[in-house]
């Protein structure tokens, strides 16, 4: 085996480089194998390899270790089973970051195929090779932003259903967004389809999910973003139209809930309807995970200071089930209930019954913030907590959890695709076992990106 220096061109348009000692590589046809002999123990976030592929081919990974290993490709978690080729749509400049196990020896095999199509200039992160096609039910705030996220991540949306929005209005609503700005690409109606950056998307206007003919458009994975069909029974109606899997973009009373970076490994092929939990749970769960794994959470209270949503009133109006929620959203700070903290117990079972919380709805259009106050089982300093959060944000939770020591405010996170950004300067500590931590999240776009990440993970496992 010939030792290659960092930065060598392996030929055929495939360029690899690595940092850290003890890496060897060789190429045989379209197969490149890397052996990392001296990987540091428990060194999460070590960058093993970068690639630059001009024509954006397809990449597969085989890991020679026992058990499930998660790699982070451009901040996206990508679980790999041992000795199983798992296709990955290749980004233009990917960095693979594995969670290192205790073994000092790894064998990674990358299978590169240059025969797949070139990425669209408006979909810079991945190609759509070998991915199942997606349908979106409900073209509201989350539905539209899921489509934006899908385009950016190279996921193929082939159908949208909304009984309340005409095609020409869909074009307008997708192109113009008061919070996230105008879509810079092409958006138009053509032959009864919504066309975005050259991608034709079939439009349906069915009221009932069982009447949506998903199979006519080839849609197999359905994002249920109406906020109405949030149970397994209701969401399963999509199967009558040809859907194979349903991802509910809201909490569910009975569907398995998943939070990227926290419990994705628990997904299995037999699950037909799943929930991406709530935006607040997606923010809270990563920081709760880090705190619990490092310092043991005994109990805690969460408050989310939450931006307004479409369910609120512009001025005072009737709201029989939630009188406070009927007050004018632009005029008030409104206390509200949330199940986000309790839902953490569903994705981190060890925390079941240990967390609860509430919300304050405030008059801002986007970006919310979680305030988590916990009693810990292990003594620590606030610097210890900061160090643990920073390490997680650069390692196993990179791309899901962020870390900042800047003097930030909410608008600094509009458009941030991470689930949770830990604010090191905002937290406080009363004693070595009693602490408050603060984390920001774009409750619209960050969450929409996690919907696509969950969907892509499901497709990988289901393949």
Measure the CA–CA gap between 452 and 439, rounded to whole angstroms: 22
For 12, what's the count of Cα atoms within 13 Å in the CB-facing half-sphere?
15
Residues 6+ apart with CB under 8 A from 122: 151, 152, 184, 185, 197
What span, in angstroms and rounded, lies between the C-alpha atoms of 379 and 434?
Answer: 9
Q: For residue 236, give the DSSP letter.
A: G
CA distance 248 to 233: 12
**Under 8 Å between Cβ of 133 and 79:** no
CA distance 289 to 292: 5
Structure-token match 């310092």, residue found: 295
* Alpha helices (runs of H) in 52-197, residue ranges in sequence order: 141-153, 167-175
Q: How many whole angstroms separate alpha carbon 229 and alpha carbon 235?
A: 5
Other CB atoms within 10 Å distance of the CB of residue 239: 17
Residue with tokens 């969950």: 454
Active site residues: 279
Enumerate residues 6+ apart whose C-beta is below 8 A from 320: none
Token pair of 301 as six digits: 């209270």
Look up residue 347 and give its DSSP letter. H
What is the three-class DSSP state of 388? helix
SS3 sequence, 152-194? Answer: HHCCCEEEEECCCCCHHHHHHHHHCCCCCCCCCCCEEEECCEE
DSSP code of residue 419 = S
Reference 260, options 109, 448, 122, 82; nearest CA is 448
Radius of gyration of the chain measured on its C-alpha atoms:
23
Note whether 454 and 261 are within 8 A (CB).
Answer: no
Q: What is the rounded (10 degree) CA torsion for 141, 142, 147, 153?
A: 130
Q: How far is CA 44 from the centre of its chain?
A: 20
């Amino acid at each position: 085996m010939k030792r290659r220096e960092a930065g060598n061109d392996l030929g055929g348009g495939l360029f690899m480089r690595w940092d850290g000692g003890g890496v060897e590589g060789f190429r045989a046809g379209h197969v490149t194998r890397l052996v990392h002999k001296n990987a540091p123990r428990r060194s999460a976030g070590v960058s093993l390899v970068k690639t630059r592929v001009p024509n954006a081919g397809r990449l597969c990974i085989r890991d020679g270790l026992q058990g499930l290993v998660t790699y982070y490709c451009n901040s996206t978690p990508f679980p790999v089973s041992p000795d199983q080729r798992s296709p990955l749509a290749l980004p233009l400049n990917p960095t693979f970051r594995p969670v290192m196990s205790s073994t000092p020896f790894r064998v990674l095999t990358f299978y590169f195929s240059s025969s797949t199509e070139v990425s669209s200039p408006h979909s810079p992160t991945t190609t759509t090779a070998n991915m199942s096609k997606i349908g979106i039910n409900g073209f509201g705030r989350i539905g539209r932003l899921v489509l934006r996220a899908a385009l950016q991540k190279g996921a193929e949306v082939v159908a949208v259903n909304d009984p309340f929005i005409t095609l020409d209005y869909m074009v307008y609503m997708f192109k113009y967004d008061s919070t996230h700005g105008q879509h810079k690409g092409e958006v138009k109606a053509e032959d009864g389809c919504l066309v975005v950056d050259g991608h034709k998307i079939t439009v349906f206007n069915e009221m009932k999910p069982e009447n949506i003919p998903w199979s006519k458009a080839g849609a197999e994975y359905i994002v249920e973003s109406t906020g109405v069909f949030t149970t397994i029974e209701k969401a399963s109606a999509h199967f009558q139209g040809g859907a194979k899997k349903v991802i509910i973009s809201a909490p569910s009373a009975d569907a398995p809930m998943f939070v990227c970076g926290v419990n994705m490994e628990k997904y299995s092929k037999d699950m037909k309807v799943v929930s991406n939990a709530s935006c607040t749970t997606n923010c809270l769960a990563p920081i709760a995970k880090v705190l619990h794994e490092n310092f043991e959470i005994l109990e805690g209270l969460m408050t989310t200071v939450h931006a307004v949503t479409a369910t609120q009133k512009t001025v005072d109006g009737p709201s029989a089930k939630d009188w406070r929620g009927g007050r004018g959203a632009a005029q008030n700070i409104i206390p509200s209930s949330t199940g986000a903290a309790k839902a953490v117990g569903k994705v981190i079972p060890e925390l079941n019954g240990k967390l609860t919380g509430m919300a304050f709805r405030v008059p801002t259009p986007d970006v919310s913030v979680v305030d988590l106050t916990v009693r810990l089982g292990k003594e620590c300093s606030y610097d210890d907590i900061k160090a643990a959060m920073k390490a997680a944000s650069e390692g196993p939770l990179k791309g899901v959890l962020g870390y900042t020591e800047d003097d930030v405010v909410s608008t600094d996170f509009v458009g941030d695709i991470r689930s949770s950004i830990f604010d090191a300067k905002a937290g406080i500590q009363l004693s070595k076992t009693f602490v408050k931590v603060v984390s920001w999240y774009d409750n619209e776009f960050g969450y929409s990106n996690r919907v696509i990440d969950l969907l892509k993970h499901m497709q990988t496992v289901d393949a």
